[in-house]
Amino acid sequence: MARANSQPMMTISDLEKKAYAIRQDIITALVAAKSGHSAGPLGMADIFTALYFRVLNVTPETRNDKNRDRVVLSNAHICPVLYATLAQRGFAKRDEFLKTLRKLGSPFQGHSNNHFDIGIETCGGPLGQGLSQAVGMALAARMDDAKWRTYCLMSDGELDEGQSWEAVMLAGKERLRNLTAIVDRNNIQIDGYTENIMPLEPLADKWRAFNWHVIEIDGHNIGQFIDAVGEAKAVYEKPTVILAHTIPGKGVSFMENRFEWHGKPPSPEEAKQAMLELRTLQGQITSEHQ
């Protein structure tokens, strides 16, 4: 299928820079919103960038096309990263996102929904529902003998939900090779570390036992992610899960790996520090902004 892309293909290095731009937009929007989740969106910025700027067969122009790839964001509390990516990619107005996240009348609701024609497929929020929706989409594509693929982004914490495993079971039974789940394995949830709240390990073995193809990657290595998506497309007879090991709060030193940042935004002062770190790629670039 021809890539209907309105932009030239970006290099891995371009994508990495774009991910940092998206992180800055997330911080800016969260500060203006005065509420929302910080850690998850920052942690998933690399994967969202790779998805929308490289992997997906969907563009702002083809966002309602029958044969577009579908994305289901199951852990919709990380929607700032979806919004920031869609805005950077031209699906939504960037300025509006930066100013109106979580505000009355904004398309950028506290949890993402499909009411505003900005390329968002479903409503999410209550955890554990997205993979079921994605399974339904993948089944529909198969019934139609269509080539488009479904990607479901999930958190590790939401694997506590029984419904997640109901969906995993059905996808395994139906051998949905057109379905790829991407789990943000960042090891945190609201009350603490996943392995303390409700241990998930051995997580890869669990998915394998349900007849899924499992790929583990460094979720901040865009090259690895693109390769994993390609591998998933090549696997016949099975759905694929990409267990993406990520650092929650990635890119902002005082947020990284701290579950306290799951559900709160930075203060204006904290944001200033965060933006400095993000602009300089955590000090790697020293010539500017000094």
Partner 1 sequence: MPAVPLNPKLFRKDVEQIPTRNGYGDGLVEIGKKDKRVVVLTGDLAESTRAHLFQKAFPDRFVECGVAEQNMMGVAAGLALAGKIPFVSSYAVFVPGRNWDQLRVSVCYTKANVKVAGAHAGISVGPDGATHQALEDIAITRVLPNLTVVVPCDYLETKKATIALAKMIGPAYFRFAREKTPVMTVEKTPFKIGKANVMRVGTDATIAACGPLVYEAMVAAEMLAKDGIDVEVLNCHTLKPFDEETLTKSVKKTGCCVTVEEHQIIGGLAGAVAETLGRREPAPIENIGMQNSFGESGETEELLTKYGMKSADIVKAVKRAHKRKVSKK
Choose the stretch contacting partner 1; rule: CB under 8 A; options: 80-88, 168-176, 187-195, 216-224: 168-176
Of 162, 237, 283, 289, which one interacts with partner 1 (CB under 8 A)? 162
Position 166 contacts partner 1 (CB under 8 A):
yes
Whose Cβ is closer to partner 1: residue 147's or residue 173's? 173
Which residues does 138 contact at the CB level (< 8 Å), separation at least 6?
Answer: 149, 150, 171, 174, 176, 178, 179, 239
Whose Cβ is closer to partner 1: residue 149's or residue 238's? 149
Contact mark string toward partner 1, 7..46, x via CB under 8 A: ----------------------------------------
C-alpha 156/C-alpha 184 separation (Å) is 6
Position 265 contacts partner 1 (CB under 8 A):
no
Paired residues of 245 in beta bridges: 185, 218
Position 67 contacts partner 1 (CB under 8 A):
no
Whose Cβ is closer to partner 1: residue 137's or residue 188's? 137
Whose Cβ is closer to partner 1: residue 11's or residue 114's? 114
Our CA angle for 114, 119, 123, nearest 5°, is 25
From residue 29, give the alpha-carbon distance in Å to each of 64, 231, 260, 264, 273: 26, 35, 19, 12, 15
Position 57 contacts partner 1 (CB under 8 A):
no
C-alpha 155/C-alpha 83 separation (Å) is 17
What separation, in Å, do the N-terminal and C-terminal C-alpha atoms of the chain show? 47
Tokens, residue 167: 């969906």
Whose Cβ is closer to partner 1: residue 113's or residue 280's? 113
Helices (H), the chain: 12-33, 39-43, 45-50, 79-89, 94-100, 130-143, 162-174, 194-197, 203-209, 222-234, 268-279
**Within positions 109 to 138, which residues make up the interface with partner 1, using CB under 8 A?**
113-115, 121-126, 128-138
Position 276 contacts partner 1 (CB under 8 A):
no
Position 72 contacts partner 1 (CB under 8 A):
yes
Whose Cβ is closer to partner 1: residue 128's or residue 265's? 128
Choose the stretch contacting partner 1; rule: CB under 8 A; options: 25-33, 167-175, 186-194, 249-257: 167-175
Whose Cβ is closer to partner 1: residue 133's or residue 246's? 133
The least distance separating partner 1 from the CB of residue 84, rounded to whole angstroms, comes to: 22
- What is the rounded (10 degree) CA torsion for 59, 62, 63, 65? -150
171: exposed, middle or buried (C-beta count within 10 Å: 0-12, 13-18, 19+)? buried
What is the bridge-based pairing of β-strands 188-189 and 192-193? antiparallel
Q: Residues binding partner 1: what is the number (CB under 8 A)? A: 37
Interface residues with partner 1 (CB under 8 A) are: 66, 70, 72, 113-115, 121-126, 128-141, 143-144, 150, 162-163, 166-167, 169-170, 173-174
